[in-house]
Amino acid sequence: MNNKPCTITNSTDPIASYEAAINERPDNVAPNSSKRPKRSVGSHTKYWEPGRTLKIALYDEDQETIERVKTAASKWLPYINLKFNFVSGEEGDIRIYINYAGDGGGKSAVGTDALIISPAYPTMTVDAAPETPRFEFIVLHEFGHALGLDHEHQHPDASIPWDLPKTYALHQQQFGWSRELVDLNVLPLPRVTDKTYGSYDCHSVMHYEISSECTIGGWEQNENWELSAKDIEAIRKAYP
């Protein structure tokens, strides 16, 4: 593992997350097929309302850096019914901080969770300087989260043969990650009954690089720096 992995900025307020999602787009919650009323917030997607323009703020970045972010992020645009408006300053639905040192790990709120983050804070961190080779990939990956996508390696059908003791130990040693952080960002998530899943895609731009140090039998996976066919299929369904 050569690069510090991305982390998802999980909301600590599930009710606020739920309300932001359904206020933005009511079909973020699947229809209740049962006659019984729901007792809790439950699972929901976090997609933006199709047809809207997302304002994307880049603080005081120079125009060249804004153009680099725009070029990478806009690779999603041919496949979604959304528009991006990239601006300088700090007012935006998505607010991007670029960590030029590249030592903190990228992160992003997932979809509409960005709406419940205080305007005083960014909703996304791009962990690389614009001139570095991975910059475009990191922007593309983090924008996948900003559009509502989770990590693909955490798909419940991924069947990655994790060596759990080594996975926990290596992430702690190399990145200072707790077991909880590894569980939230690396290991498979439980299947949710009211959520629809596509098939697992090891070539997704939303998939971590997986080192054989963390698996049984030498299983490994490199980063894919471009949108896969299944990435495109999934995001088209999310934003018709």
Secondary structure (DSSP) of 174-201:
HH---HHHHHHHTSPPPPPTTS------
pTM for the full predicted model: 0.92
| pLDDT tens digits, 46-93 | 999 999 999 999 999 999 999 999 999 999 999 999 999 999 999 999
Q: Is residue 128 part of a domain?
A: yes
Higher pLDDT, 43 or 4: 4
Q: What residues make up the domain containing 169?
A: 7-22+51-191+199-238
Q: Residue 168's closest CA among 151, 152, 188, 183?
A: 183
Predicted local distance difference test score (pLDDT) of residue 36: 42
Task: Please give the pLDDT value at position 121.
Answer: 95
Overall domain count for the chain: 1
Residue 169: inside a domain? yes
d(CA 40, CA 118): 25
What the block records as the tokens of 161 is 């043969």
**pLDDT(33) > 50:** no
Residue 147's CATH number: 3.40.390.10
In a domain, 32, yes or no: no
56 domain-assigned:
yes
Q: Is residue 161 part of a domain?
A: yes
Which pLDDT tens digit goes with each residue over 118-144? 999 999 999 999 999 999 999 999 999
- Residue 201 above 90 pLDDT? yes
**Strand, helix or coil at 101?**
coil
Q: Identify the pLDDT of residue 103.
A: 81
